[in-house]
Chain A
Amino acid sequence: GDSVTQTEGLVTVTEGLPVKLNCTYQTTYLTIAFFWYVQYLNEAPQVLLKSSTDNKRTEHQGFHATLHKSSSSFHLQKSSAQLSDSALYYCALNSNNRIFFGDGTQLVVKP
């Protein structure tokens, strides 16, 4: 079946340094889309960025991700973390309108 794996439950980074959140997946479908959702404290999750094109970089709000079907990955990266980036991040895939979420990675950006 379909699944999404986020290996880190917590990532701590110093402000201004780069950050990478890992996401790998398993799926039997060929036509699916991938998402990163962000959830700020006491708010609902919301879409950060999305992609379905292999090897194409997608960017939004300073974050970027590239879908690599060869390695089944969709890692989220930012070159310079900001204090306001502290939040819970979910990787997700849409398989026939059933959305599979990873367990989430809590990002803490320290001054």
Chain B
Amino acid sequence: EAAVTQSPRNKVTVTGGNVTLSCRQTNSHNYMYWYRQDTGHGLRLIHYSYGAGNLQIGDVPDGYKATRTTQEDFFLLLELASPSQTSLYFCASSDGRGRHTEVFFGKGTRLTVV
């Protein structure tokens, strides 16, 4: 089973602060994703990537940057955090081979912007 590790698991920052969320997967998956989860909105895709150096824009990208430095590592950056970005963030990965490919999620990072 795929292993996706997120850090930190909890983070509190101030409005206007700079935050980096980290994600590492250890199963050589090609695709990695960042989602935010909010009550009533489900899982919304922020950014995703299909390999090192690649970045694709998701459905709610405003206020977020992302970078895929290696096959394993995918970072989400909030350069001017706002209270509206308080959320539970999930990183996920998949091998991208075929339509039945499953997405494997990390345990999530709870971010609070005060």
Question: A: which residues have CB within 8 A of B?
Answer: 6, 9, 31-33, 35, 37, 43-47, 50, 52, 90, 92, 94, 97-104
B33, B56, B100, B108: the one contacting A52 at CB < 8 Å is B100
A31, A50, A101: the one contacting B43 at CB < 8 Å is A101
Q: Are B99 and A44 touching (Cβ within 8 A)? A: no
**Chain A CB within 8 A of B103 CB:** yes
Q: Are A44 and B96 touching (Cβ within 8 A)? A: no
Question: B: which residues have CB within 8 A of A?
Answer: 31, 33, 35, 40-45, 48, 50, 56, 90, 92, 94, 96, 99-103, 105-108
List the 6 closest pairs (A to B, CB-CB), nearest first: A44-B105, A103-B42, A33-B99, A101-B43, A104-B42, A97-B96
Q: How many A-B residue pairs have CB under 8 A?
A: 54
Q: Are B107 and A90 touching (Cβ within 8 A)? A: no
Smallest Cβ distance from A100 to chain B, in angstroms? 8
Smallest Cβ distance from B10 to chain A, in angstroms? 12
Smallest Cβ distance from B110 to chain A, in angstroms? 10
Bound complex: CA of A90 vs CA of B92, how far in Å?
15
20 further A-B contacts with Cβ under 8 Å, apart from A31-B99, A45-B90, are A32-B99, A33-B99, A35-B102, A37-B103, A44-B107, A45-B43, A45-B105, A47-B102, A90-B42, A94-B100, A97-B50, A97-B96, A97-B101, A99-B33, A99-B45, A99-B94, A100-B45, A101-B44, A103-B40, A104-B42
* Residues on B with beta carbons closer than 8 Å to the beta carbon of A99: 33, 45, 92, 94, 103
7 contacts between A and B (CB under 8 A): A37-B103, A43-B107, A44-B90, A50-B100, A50-B102, A94-B100, A99-B45
